[in-house]
Chains A and B, each alone.
Chain A
């Protein structure tokens, strides 16, 4: 475990590097709150919130058919093992970047709605890792209920998560905002992290920590699964014009995705499911020039 802890100073260094990359990419991350602050980003997204949503997969290695609920349940464990590296699931994303998505969510009932997402990434002193919080509100300022949040969770994960309260989305106070947040507790099932450790390229020696932030989704690989199963992660693509049409976000219920706290915890790897264009930050001597990074899909 001690190999992968990230203290607050290193976290701030990572954030500075990430902000430099973000500026190059023009993807809108900023720093808020002074010395004990956090990374922040807002995005406007079109998302289908409907429990009867049917999922379609277009990514590599995934079946293009839509499994029934019972099949989903049966194949849950198997799917969970695959998901970490499979380029499969992501909710249909931002309107102007739909074609960049790796997967789409097709609604059999209900319709898509425009939601305001706000992402905060801050340092957790308890887990010594970065934590991702996010909130989703309608254009009218109404925050999504827990049920609606669950409706946007990938069906493959929904049952498993709901049956396991310790490992699921819970209500918390966000230290950054001091208000109501939902929080996805760390999972202990390896998932992304095990996969990342086994199959990752690039340096993995002691002390290295990769903070990977999907360009918009802010995915930290939290909770042992691709973050977009917990929230509709933004697709990746060219720099967007979100900020021009943002309205002030209402303070309301938010969602957090937190990396796990076990040994594998801090080695945060992106899965290809995150959709490609991500900003990656290495700290200390392991920092690499983004231009020469061996994982071009990360950048």
Chain B
């Protein structure tokens, strides 16, 4: 059996082959070639697409180039969700490479956050880590860290340095053995068809009676629709990092191993493809 630590590495180095295409309505001086990248699942679109911007800036008039944003089949892609979440939510069960359309005008103010610099992403990322630690440790771990420690987490993500990130992140994953897990599990459940961006509630890894809570227990409590009916056909897939973990998997284990670098366990509930 593989060491559980290998799972951390596998999650970190998950990649999605992606083809960036310029929106046809953009005015170009010559034909825009598509641009291909392997996108890290755990990163953010606007953090890893400087090369994409540079590539398309070569063919569009500089005066016409406003803030770059991305769209997939008509849906503007929220840069503040991890890339893997965007893919699982909108593009699961489709053919690779993932085909993303690049825009430089008509920024969809209603749907997207502006992202003028990487510092905006950093602030968002650190805010998530802090919120997660409020749930896990009443903020004690993140507050005990120094500024350079916070920076190490961010630089680890920004520069794709697994060891640098995890040297610090392991502190955020610790808990007293007698507790059996974190205070609450930081999770977010995303659905494709909902007005609400995601479901987020307080949920403990262990029941008051000492039973270990599983992924199935969580869904039963906060989003029972996602679970298959007794004997009925399966309607939804519950996807984390592109895979469907067993519903019997302990939630604490998932939180420690399948959380994104922002410390949240991002769970996508998507309809089973009809074929």
- Real binding pair: yes
Question: Would A178 and B195 be within 8 Å (CB), given that A1-B138, A170-B124 are in contact?
Answer: yes
Chain A: which residue is nearest B78 at the CB level? A173
A143, A146, A165: which contacts B109 (Cβ < 8 A)?
A143
Whether A126 contacts B135 by the Cβ 8 Å rule is yes
Whether A125 contacts B123 by the Cβ 8 Å rule is no
A165, A188, A251: which contacts B123 (Cβ < 8 A)?
A165
Whether A125 contacts B202 by the Cβ 8 Å rule is yes
Tell me which residues from 99 to 120 in chain B have a Cβ below 8 Å from any Cβ of chain A: 109-116, 119-120
Cβ of B266 < 8 Å from any Cβ of A? no
**Which chain B positions have C-beta within 8 A of A90?**
none
The stretch that binds B, out of A58-66, A179-187, A202-210, is A179-187
Question: Would A166 and B150 be within 8 Å (CB), given that A125-B202, A143-B109, A178-B196 are in contact?
Answer: yes
Jot down 24 A-B pairs with beta carbons below 8 A, ordered by A: A125-B202, A127-B131, A145-B114, A165-B122, A166-B123, A166-B127, A166-B130, A170-B120, A170-B124, A171-B113, A171-B114, A173-B197, A175-B200, A178-B195, A179-B110, A179-B111, A180-B110, A180-B111, A180-B113, A183-B127, A250-B110, A251-B110, A252-B109, A261-B138
Whether A171 contacts B195 by the Cβ 8 Å rule is no
**Which chain A positions have C-beta within 8 A of B201?**
125
Given A126-B135, A178-B196, 15 more pairs with CB closer than 8 A: A126-B200, A146-B116, A165-B119, A166-B123, A166-B150, A170-B126, A170-B127, A171-B113, A171-B115, A171-B120, A171-B123, A172-B124, A172-B127, A180-B113, A185-B126
CB distance from B259 to the nearest CB of A (A): 15
**Which chain B positions have C-beta within 8 A of A188?**
143
Q: For chain B, what secondary structure do more than half of its interface residues adopt (helix, strand, loop), or is it mixed?
A: loop
Cβ of B134 < 8 Å from any Cβ of A? yes
CA distance A170 to B196 in the complex (A): 20
CA distance A261 to B122 in the complex (A): 20
A residues adjacent to B (C-beta < 8 A): 1, 125-127, 142-143, 145-146, 165-166, 168-173, 175, 178-180, 183, 185-186, 188, 250-253, 261-262
**Which chain B positions have C-beta within 8 A of A146?**
114, 116, 120
CA distance A188 to B135 in the complex (A): 16
CA distance A84 to B116 in the complex (A): 32
CB distance from A78 to the nearest CB of B (A): 21
Chain B interface category by residue count: 20 to 34
CA distance A168 to B116 in the complex (A): 16
Residue from A146, A165, A168 having most chain B Cβ neighbours under 10 A: A165
CA distance A175 to B80 in the complex (A): 14
Whether B127 contacts A262 by the Cβ 8 Å rule is no
B residues adjacent to A (C-beta < 8 A): 78, 80, 109-116, 119-120, 122-124, 126-127, 130-132, 134-135, 138-139, 143, 150, 186, 195-198, 200-202
B112, B116, B124, B134: which contacts A261 (Cβ < 8 A)?
B134
CA distance A185 to B134 in the complex (A): 12
**Which chain B positions have C-beta within 8 A of A251?**
110
Question: Would A262 and B143 be within 8 Å (CB), given that A127-B134, A165-B126 are in contact?
Answer: yes
Chain A: which residue is nearest B138 at the CB level? A1
Chain B: which residue is nearest A145 at the CB level? B114
